[in-house]
Amino acid sequence: PHAIYLHSSPSRRNWARATFAWYIIGAVVAVVLGLILASTGLLAEALRS
């Protein structure tokens, strides 16, 4: 496994790590926004009834 890291450039490895981090951040934001929209939608339905 170490040989792969030695042959790959550190900038490329950092880019992959940053991309992975952004995917995680995007997923978390999407889930949070979905929960907020769902809760506000349910709240609006409750207030309307």
Give a yes or no: residue 13 inside a domain. no
10 token code pair: 């550190």
Give a yes or no: residue 39 inside a domain. yes
9 token code pair: 């450039």
pLDDT band at 49 (very low <50, low <70, confident <90, very high): confident
At residue 7, does pLDDT exceed 90? no
Q: What pLDDT, in 10s, does the model give residues 14-39?
A: 888 999 999 999 999 999 999 999 99
Please tell me the total count of domains within the chain.
1
Location of structure tokens 């490329």: 12
Domain that residue 39 falls in: 22-49
Does pTM top 0.85 for this prediction?
A: no
| Contact in structure between 13 and 5 (CB atoms under 8 Å) | yes
Location of structure tokens 């506000």: 40
- Residue 10 has phi, psi (to 5 degrees) of -65, -35
